Structures are given as structure tokens and as C-alpha cells.
Amino acid sequence: MENGTQQLKCLPSGLFSLSSCVHLSGSSVAIPLPIIASNPHFLDSDRSIQDAVDGLIPDDISHRSYMDLEPTTGIIMNGSRRMQFNINVVNDSKIDAISHIHPLVYPMIWVDEHAEIDQPNADIFHKKVYVPLLLLTVFKYVIIAIGTTLLITVISLVVFSRYK
């Protein structure tokens, strides 16, 4: 499995261990839970992880996180964070019930957190950002036109005053 590193304890590509972040509560000993995060349906994960679970069909459009940024301000106008939570199932010779199972990253649930600017706020944003920018652009060209007109007028007056 390719994980981009020579470290043997690293998970395959596309998987992120949350074990150090999640512990059983109420215990005097911190026992890390074998929780692994990934993209839904193991999108962009190592192919062997995808193939180990039946019924997964990774789809770039349905399972990838994204955000649409407004180019002038960099504000997020629309976005979706999609994440799957999995259990790392391993065999353990000390426990008969799981001593024979094949190690597997088992998908439990995937979530889609979506946010999008609503139309009233989009209208307010447009009025507060784009209208002033448009007025500034128009004002800039009006000032250039006035300056050019004044320059031509002054040059004309200087030229005509010399011929009198």
C-alpha cells in the first residue's frame, strides 16, 4: 500500500487516524479508539482499501469536499465538507471472537456539512462589495476624462494665446 512515506505505522493513502484524538471516557486509562477518517466511499484512498469493502462506488462529484470562493474578498460563498468515519478492525489472537477475521477499515458513517449564502445575504454582499467597486471604476474614468479635457483646454489656451 502506497502511503508516501517509509514509516511502517502510517496508514495507507487517503486515511487519517483519529485514535490520538478520541478516547473512552470514564476510564482512568486513556484507551485510544480505532477511529479513522477518510473521504466518503474511500475516494482518493489506496485502491486496496476501496476493494476490501463491497458496494463502494467513489464518485468525485458526490464525495469530494469543495468550496466556492468569491474572488475579490476570498469569502466562502458555497461549500461542502464531506467526511467518512471508519473503524479499524484488526484480528487479535487473544480474543477468540476476532482472532480469525481479516483486518479491514470498516466504514461506519459519512457526513456532508454544507453551507451556502442565501439570496438576501448575497444581495447585501453585492450592494456592499460590487456596487462600490463599480462606482469606483466609473469614477476613475470620469476623473480621467475630466483631467484629459482640462489638459486639452489648457494646451489650447496656451497655444491660442501665443498666436494673439
Shared-domain flag, residues 94 and 154 = no
Give 19 or 132, the one with higher predicted confidence. 132
Number of domains in the chain: 2
| Average pLDDT of the residues of the chain | 88
AA identity, residue 23: H
Shared-domain flag, residues 125 and 143 = yes
Using a pLDDT cut of 90, give the percent of the chain over it: 67
Residue 4: pLDDT band with limits 50, 70, 90: low
Shared-domain flag, residues 85 and 157 = no
Note the pLDDT of residue 1: 47
Residue 92: pLDDT band with limits 50, 70, 90: confident
Shared-domain flag, residues 45 and 61 = yes
Shared-domain flag, residues 134 and 82 = no
Note the pLDDT of residue 18: 85
Shared-domain flag, residues 64 and 137 = no
CB 43 within 8 A of CB 61: no
Domain extent for 2? 1-117
Shared-domain flag, residues 20 and 10 = yes
| Per-residue pLDDT reduced to its tens digit, 54-85 | 999 999 999 999 999 999 999 999 999 999 99
Interval 86-114 mean pLDDT: 88
The contacts of residue 113 (CB under 8 Å, 6+ apart) are 80, 81, 82
DSSP type of residue 76: E
Note the pLDDT of residue 163: 78
Shared-domain flag, residues 25 and 86 = yes
CB 122 within 8 A of CB 134: no
Query: N- to C-terminal Cα distance for the chain?
Result: 92
Shared-domain flag, residues 19 and 63 = yes
Residue 21: pLDDT band with limits 50, 70, 90: low
E-state strands within 44-121: 66-69, 76-89, 104-116
Shared-domain flag, residues 68 and 143 = no
Interval 129-149 mean pLDDT: 96
Shared-domain flag, residues 122 and 112 = no
Shared-domain flag, residues 6 and 47 = yes
Is the confidence at residue 103, as pLDDT, over 50? Answer: yes
